[in-house]
Amino acid sequence: MTPKVLPSNGPRYGPFGGAYVPETLVPAVRELEAAYEEARRDPEFRRELDRLLRTYAGRPTPLTPAHRLTAALGGARIYLKREDLAHTGAHKINNALGQALLAKRMGKRRIVAETGAGQHGVATATVCALLGLECVIYMGTVDMERQKLNVFRMRLLGAEVRGVEAGSRTLKDAINEAIRDWVTNVRTTHYLLGSALGPHPYPRMVRDFQRVIGDEVRAQILEAEGRLPDVLIACVGGGSNAIGLFFPFIQDENVALVGVEAGGEGIESGRHAARFADPQRGRLGVLHGTQTYVLQDADGQIALTHSISAGLDYAAVGPEHAWLREIGRAQYTYATDEEALRALRRLSELEGIIPALESAHAVAEAMKRAPTMEAHRLIVVNISGRGDKDMPTVARALGTHVEEL
Amino acid sequence: MNSLETTFNRLRAQGRAALMPFITMGFPRRESAFELVPALVDGGADIIELGVPFSDPLADGATVQAASQQALQNGMTLARCLDQAAELRSCGVRAPFVLMGYYNPIFQMGEHTFAQRAAEAGIQGVIVPDLPPEEGDTLQATLRAHGLDLIFLLAPTSDETRVKLVARRASGFIYLVSLTGVTGARDQLPPDLEKFVARVRRATSLPLAVGFGIARPEHAAHVARVADGVIVGSALLKVIETASNPVAAARQFVAELRAGIEAARAARPDEFPRG
């Protein structure tokens, strides 16, 4: 059978993607592209990365059958991909290890990165400690406030955390600042971008480093069930955990791919980060080097976003997701703050797993979908990270008070 | 209106570099350009760069970021920038205008509508800092069809292949980013600036204008000795922001920069080696 969808390796995913960067950075993204291409073909690089993923990051992560959640919902059987059990508590370590090894290979000893929820910042600080690289993390001051624990972790790991006061003081402003640092120090510095976003080759490279999630799921579900799942569900901020899960299944047309955006306080409220769900403000645009769906006003100014989860609180979506949606290969929906909180509680009580608020958006979609499906159907939900970092936020939302660091 | 080419040719005949101040439209007040632009011309500016504010100006330092944010709060939009440019023309301002703005607002307006409205507004050139030549094919063709130049940039990190590529694609002038970094006033010019300018000069006969970090009359004088245009943005915005009479202060500052450029005239070689 001829597959309908041929995967793209960039720079374009259909009409999406590209490399909209200032001239100063053009040579840097070209150099990165060449270095990545060379590393990718080098068995020694692959071996070193695999070794670290196994012996340091704790891969493979388990695929856990969610028996009690399945029973409570009635309907399709649910499996959980446990990225929360990877070192540092989220899938971000997969990409951080890959890019840090690449930076070292390129002779760049200084790393800059942005972070929203702090998980990518912690993963980056961690691999920099491991590989002896200098590390500067940019983080919006609003995010620093809601993710104090992760700020402390990054500093403990030896990273310098620089607060960003500009704009909305969240993830997009942290990316602006990281890019400005990169423009200034481009000869010595690698920008370790944390999601499947930004100028080519980042969306492709980050996807390749995250596809280990989907590759493992494929082997694990075949071993457990002897067949592929019917539905894969993942949350989508920039979309790195989702593309990592989806990518190895793109040509399996019977596997439905479902991305879940942050519905915030509801689409009508305007306070959300659902690029695909808001037809008025979510339009094709260019942000941070890539052409994709962007939440914006009529003048093309980037909109302020809202989500209870800092990791989904971003105005643009990775270009490959925009393409998978355009060609109908993946579908995208959203979960509100409230639905995510409910899902977080449900999974905690029924399975003993406290997911990150980001991942709870995916769980919420599984809770909607499973009861509508037959009992022999299989759903795999990516638990992209663990919820420890979110306890102060969750406690506040539930009306209790947790003493913060 | 004078085209960019005519302006640079006239100045070249006079043996002097062009003074190209940059302001953020809508800063400090929404209608400020109506006072500031005539004052800049009065002070001795040859070409005016009109900055379109954007919410996420990733090639800009703190000064332009703050001015942009203020301008957006004042309700400035790309459409209003074009309207104001048109109105400045009808008030008799004849200096060439170069519009500088990030790509997304242009993309939202639509490249064709943008080019048409920019041409109607009497704009001669457009600089889009996040649109390298590889992504700029259609905008360049559309602007050209309306008689406008898309101005490309080169940076110290650009190697010979890129210098040649930009030289082949460029029209109007080439914007040389003086340093590896973002916009913003600096105390000193980068030491390798002359070599960088000479490197590009070997590849093109187009005028070369230098920007980023130029803050003082002596900087302007220095740049004017080696290049064809001197671009000053953040330092001017700072003057506008801090002065009790921003319009008079802007005129005065531009006059000082112009004096620096005039002083450089004697020291300028008659003819640059052409590539």
Query: At B20, which helix (H) or strand (E)?
Result: strand B18-24
> What pLDDT score does B240 carry?
98
| A335: helix, strand or coil | strand
User: Do the chains contact at A300 and B107, CB–CB below 8 Å?
Assistant: yes
> What pLDDT score does A4 carry?
63
* ipTM, 2 dp: 0.95
- C-alpha–C-alpha distance, residues A6 and A44, integer Å: 28
Report chain B residues whose CB lies below 8 A from the CB of A110.
Answer: none
Phi, psi (deg, nearest 5) at residue A39: -65, -40
pLDDT band (50, 70, 90) for residue A385:
very high
> What pLDDT score does B275 carry?
38
State pTM to two decimals: 0.96
> What pLDDT score does A168 carry?
84
Strand-pair category, A110-115 with A189-191: parallel
Å between B2 CA and nearest CA of chain A: 28
Report chain A residues whose CB lies below 8 A from the CB of B135.
Answer: 18-20
Say which residues have a Cβ less than 8 Å from residue A161's Cβ, sequence separation at least 6: A121, A137, A139, A144, A151, A154, A155
Report chain A residues whose CB lies below 8 A from the CB of B72.
Answer: 301
- C-alpha–C-alpha distance, residues A273 and A304, integer Å: 8
Q: How many of the other CB atoms lie within 10 Å of CB of B242?
A: 9
Å between A52 CA and nearest CA of chain B: 34
> What pLDDT score does A405 carry?
46
- Do A181 and A110 meet the contact criterion of CB atoms below 8 Å apart? no
Put simply, whether A15 touches B (Cβ < 8 Å) is: no
- In one-letter notation, the amino acid at residue A387 is G
Say which residues have a Cβ less than 8 Å from residue A354's Cβ, sequence separation at least 6: A344, A347, A348, A386, A387, A388
Strand-pair category, A134-140 with A160-164: parallel
DSSP string, B229-240: EEEE-HHHHHHH
Put simply, whether A322 touches B (Cβ < 8 Å) is: no
pLDDT > 70: percent of chain A: 98
Put simply, whether A172 touches B (Cβ < 8 Å) is: yes
User: Do the chains contact at B56 and A172, CB–CB below 8 Å?
Assistant: yes
- Do A197 and A174 meet the contact criterion of CB atoms below 8 Å apart? no
DSSP string, A99-158: HHHHHHHTT--EEEEEESSSHHHHHHHHHHHHHT-EEEEEEEHHHHHHTHHHHHHHHHTT
pLDDT band (50, 70, 90) for residue A334:
very high
Q: What's the half-sphere exposure (Cβ side, CA atoms, 13 Å) at A351?
A: 23
The tokens of A296 are what?
A: 């914006």
Tokens 């919006």 appear where?
A140
Give me the residue from B103, B108, B162 closest to A27, CB to CB.
B162
Give me the residue from A20, A27, A166 closest to B131, CB to CB.
A20
Q: Give chain A's mean pLDDT.
A: 95
In the sheet with A290-295, reading across from the earlier edge strand, the strands are A12-13, A16-17, A290-295, A282-287
Put simply, whether B58 touches A (Cβ < 8 Å) is: yes
Intervals of chain B under pLDDT 50: 273-275
User: Do the chains contact at B130 and A22, CB–CB below 8 Å?
Assistant: yes
DSSP string, A337-383: HHHHHHHHHHHHHHHS--B-HHHHHHHHHHHHHGGGS-TT-EEEEEE
- C-alpha–C-alpha distance, residues A74 and A72, integer Å: 6
Put simply, whether A285 touches B (Cβ < 8 Å) is: yes
pLDDT band (50, 70, 90) for residue A354:
very high
Interface of B with A in 153-182 (CB under 8 A): 153-159, 162, 166, 177, 180-182
Nearest to A173 by CA among B58, B180, B129: B58
User: Do the chains contact at A23 and B72, CB–CB below 8 Å?
Assistant: no
Å between B13 CA and nearest CA of chain A: 31
Report chain B residues whose CB lies below 8 A from the CB of A19.
Answer: 132, 134-135
- C-alpha–C-alpha distance, residues B173 and B152, integer Å: 8
Would the pLDDT of A356 be above 50? yes
Nearest CA in chain B to A177: B58
> With 0-12 CB in 10 A as exposed, 13-18 as middle and 19+ as buried, what is A79?
buried
Query: At A264, which helix (H) or strand (E)?
Result: strand A256-264
Domain boundaries, chain B: 4-271
| B18: helix, strand or coil | strand
Nearest to A320 by CA among A287, A278, A291: A291
Report chain B residues whose CB lies below 8 A from the CB of A173.
Answer: 56
Q: Which of B25, B56, B107, B137 to probe the A interface (max A CBs under 10 A)?
A: B56
Give me the residue from B57, B134, B159 closest to A19, CB to CB.
B134
The one catalytic residue among A92, A108, A172, A389:
A92
Provide the annotated active-site residues of B: 49, 60
Report chain B residues whose CB lies below 8 A from the CB of A287.
Answer: 56, 104
SS3 content of chain B, % helix, strand, coil (to 5): 50, 15, 40
Give the angle B92-B95-B100 at the CA atoms, nearest 5°: 115
- C-alpha–C-alpha distance, residues A244 and A238, integer Å: 12
Would the pLDDT of A6 be above 90? no
CATH class name, domain B4-271: alpha beta
Alpha carbon distances (Å) from A322 to A174, A258, A285, A290: 23, 13, 11, 11
Put simply, whether A312 touches B (Cβ < 8 Å) is: no
Report chain B residues whose CB lies below 8 A from the CB of A22.
Answer: 58-59, 129-130, 132, 153, 155, 177
pLDDT band (50, 70, 90) for residue A146:
confident
Tokens 């890129």 appear where?
B162
The one catalytic residue among A33, A114, A320, A365:
A114
Put simply, whether B223 touches A (Cβ < 8 Å) is: no
Encode pLDDT of A154-194 as tens digits.
Answer: 999 999 999 999 888 989 999 999 999 999 999 999 999 99
Q: Which of A12, A23, A280 to probe the B interface (max B CBs under 10 A)?
A: A23
For the question of residue A114 being annotated catalytic, the response is yes
Nearest to B58 by CA among A146, A76, A184, A322: A184
Beta-bridge mates of residue A283: A294
The tokens of A344 are what?
A: 């977080």
Put simply, whether A21 touches B (Cβ < 8 Å) is: yes
Q: How many of the other CB atoms lie within 10 Å of CB of B249?
A: 17
Q: Rg (Cα) of chain B, in Å, rounded?
A: 17
* Helical H segments across B74-226, by residue range: 78-90, 103-109, 111-120, 137-145, 160-169, 193-201, 217-226
Encode pLDDT of A16-72 as tens digits.
Answer: 999 999 999 999 999 999 999 999 999 999 999 999 999 999 999 999 999 999 999
Report chain A residues whose CB lies below 8 A from the CB of B59.
Answer: 22, 24, 180, 183
Give me the residue from B107, B108, B130 closest to A21, CB to CB.
B130
> What pLDDT score does A118 carry?
92
User: Do the chains contact at B58 and A176, CB–CB below 8 Å?
Assistant: yes
Say which residues have a Cβ less than 8 Å from residue A9's Cβ, sequence separation at least 6: A204
> What pLDDT score does B34 carry?
98
Å between A43 CA and nearest CA of chain B: 31
> What pLDDT score does A166 carry?
87
Encode pLDDT of A359-384 as tens digits.
Answer: 999 999 999 999 999 999 999 999 99
- C-alpha–C-alpha distance, residues A58 and A355, integer Å: 18
Query: At A290, which helix (H) or strand (E)?
Result: strand A290-295
- C-alpha–C-alpha distance, residues B19 and A125, integer Å: 46
Put simply, whether B113 touches A (Cβ < 8 Å) is: no
Nearest CA in chain A to B154: A23
